[in-house]
Amino acid sequence: MSILVREEEKQDYRRVEEITRLAFSYPGRIERGGIGCPYEHWMVNELRRRDGILPLSLVATECSGETEELVGHIICSKAEVRTENGVIPVLNMGPISVLPECQRRGVGKTLIYAMIEKAKKLDYGAILFFGRPEYYPQFGFKEAAEFGVADAEGYNYPSFMGMELIPGYLKEARGGKFYESDIYNDELNRETVRAFDEQFRKGE
Ligand X SMILES: CC(C)(COP(=O)(O)OP(=O)(O)OC[C@H]1O[C@@H](n2cnc3c(N)ncnc32)[C@H](O)[C@@H]1OP(=O)(O)O)[C@@H](O)C(=O)NCCC(=O)NCCS
Considering only 10-18, 91-99, 141-149, 187-195, which stretch makes contact with ligand X by CB under 6 A? 91-99
- Binding string, residues 39-68; x marks residues near ligand X by CB under 6 A: ------------------------------
Q: Could you say whether residue 132 binds ligand X (CB under 6 A)?
A: yes
Output 57 or 97, the one with its CB closest to ligand X.
97
Phi/psi for 154 (5° steps) reads 95, 15
Cβ pair 129, 159 in contact under 8 A: no
Choose the stretch contacting ligand X; rule: CB under 6 A; options: 76-84, 95-103, 143-151, 179-187.
95-103
Instruction: Answer yes or no whether residue 32 interacts with ligand X by CB under 6 A.
Output: no
- Residue 99's closest CA among 204, 11, 22, 5? 22
Nearest-approach distance from CB 44 to ligand X, in angstroms: 12
Of 31 and 134, the one with the shorter C-beta distance to ligand X is: 134
Give the 3-state secondary structure of the chain: CCEEEEECCHHHHHHHHHHHHHHCCCCCHHHHHCCCCCCHHHHHHHHHHCCCCCCEEEEEEEEECCEEEEEEEEEEEEEEEEECCEEEEEEEEEEEEECHHHCCCCHHHHHHHHHHHHHHHCCCCEEEEECCCCCHHHHCCEEHHHHCCECCCCCCCCCEEEEECCCCHHHHHCCCEEECCHHHCHHHHHHHHHHHHHHHHCCC
Candidate ranges 4-12, 100-108, 165-173, 179-187; the one touching ligand X (CB under 6 A)? 100-108
Instruction: Tell me how far, at minimum, the Cβ of 26 lies from ligand X, in Å.
Output: 6
One of 10, 64, 66, 104 touching ligand X (CB under 6 A): 104
Min dist CB 77 to ligand X, Å, is: 15
Residue nearest to ligand X (CB): 108
Please tell me whether residue 135 binds ligand X under the rule CB under 6 A: yes
For residue 86, the minimal CB distance to ligand X (Å) is 29
Which residues lie near ligand X (CB under 6 A)? 23-24, 95-98, 103-109, 131-132, 134-135
